[in-house]
Amino acid sequence: MTSRTKLKRKQVDDVLGGEEQWKHADSTNVTCPKCDNGRAYFYQLQIRSADEPMTTFYRCTACAHNWREN
């Protein structure tokens, strides 16, 4: 005799802030690699060791494409 029980997935918090992070982000003049729009929101995080530069995350104001530098 066998039976299957479907387990419920654990909810995980988004450590980078998720959609809420972008509501308070500053914007800058940078070209989107997807749509060539000239403006994007950005924020910076230190995701590597302290002697490495910070990583900048961008989100296009037109198409909402996300990318990062460094």
Active-site residue, from 14, 26, 52, 69: 52
Determine if residue 33 is labeled as part of a ligand binding site. Answer: no
Distance (Å, rounded) from C-alpha 32 to C-alpha 61?
9
Residue 58 is assigned to a ligand binding site: no
Query: What six digits make up the tokens of 6?
Result: 């479907």
User: Catalytic annotation on 69?
Assistant: no
Whether 51 is catalytic: yes
CA-CA-CA-CA torsion sign (67, 11, 15, 27): positive
Residues annotated within a binding site: 32, 35, 60, 63
Q: Where in the sequence numbering do the catalytic residues fall?
A: 51-52
Detail the residues annotated as belonging to a binding site for Zn(2+).
32, 35, 60, 63
